Amino acid sequence: MTQPIDLSAALASFERIWSPRVVATVNDYDVRVAKTKGEHVWHVHNDTDEFFLVLDGQLRIALREEAGEREVVLDRGSLFVVPRGVFHKPSSPAGASVLVVEPSGTLSVGDEHDEVPDHVDVTVGHPLAGDAR
């Protein structure tokens, strides 16, 4: 990567929800952007944390922890790290744009997950269209 990335242009380059695009790689980590709307799927990443930053809209993340279930609400500009080994389910009733950081090759539905609905893309991230760079 030798040029700045315009995140607005990156997000405008695709329509599909829950289908992240890799905008940069830092060491062995992907920086991905995604559009969200509705519910993702309950899943867990056994060996890595997952970083979320809300660029626009609101993202909710339900968590299954030892003390029980809870939900965090992330408004624009908020970030949250889901610890490794914690089942979680992102959702966004009205839609949101998010930036996610996780190790390259990490599946969007984690290591274990519930049945994946058709609107959720099972991927390690798609390349970003060239015109967004």
Domain CATH for 35: 2.60.120.10
Which pLDDT band holds residue 133 (cuts at 50, 70, 90)?
Answer: very low
Residue 39: in which H helix or E strand, if any?
Answer: strand 29-39
Q: What is the pLDDT of residues 88-116, one digit of tens each?
A: 999 999 999 999 999 999 999 999 999 99
Within-domain flag for 133: no
Instruction: Quote the domain boundaries for residue 17.
Output: 7-128
56 belongs to a structural domain: yes
Within a domain: 47: yes
Confidence of residue 2 (pLDDT cuts 50, 70, 90): confident
> Do residues 36 and 97 make contact, with C-beta atoms less than 8 angstroms apart?
yes
Domain assignment present for residue 81? The answer is yes
Does residue 2 fall inside a structural domain?
no
Q: Is residue 1 part of a domain?
A: no
The string of pLDDT tens digits covering residues 61-91 is: 999 999 999 999 999 999 999 999 999 999 9
Q: Can you tell me the distance from the alpha carbon of 24 to that of 93, in angstroms, rounded to the nearest whole number?
A: 28
Q: What is the mean pLDDT of the chain?
A: 95
Query: Residues 6 or more apart from 24 whose CB is under 8 A from it?
Result: 1, 5, 30, 31
91 within domain boundaries: yes
* Overall number of domains in the chain: 1
Q: Are 61 and 52 in contact (CB under 8 A)?
A: yes
- The residue type at 66: E
CA triplet 71, 31, 9: central angle to 5 degrees?
100
Do the domain assignments include residue 123?
yes
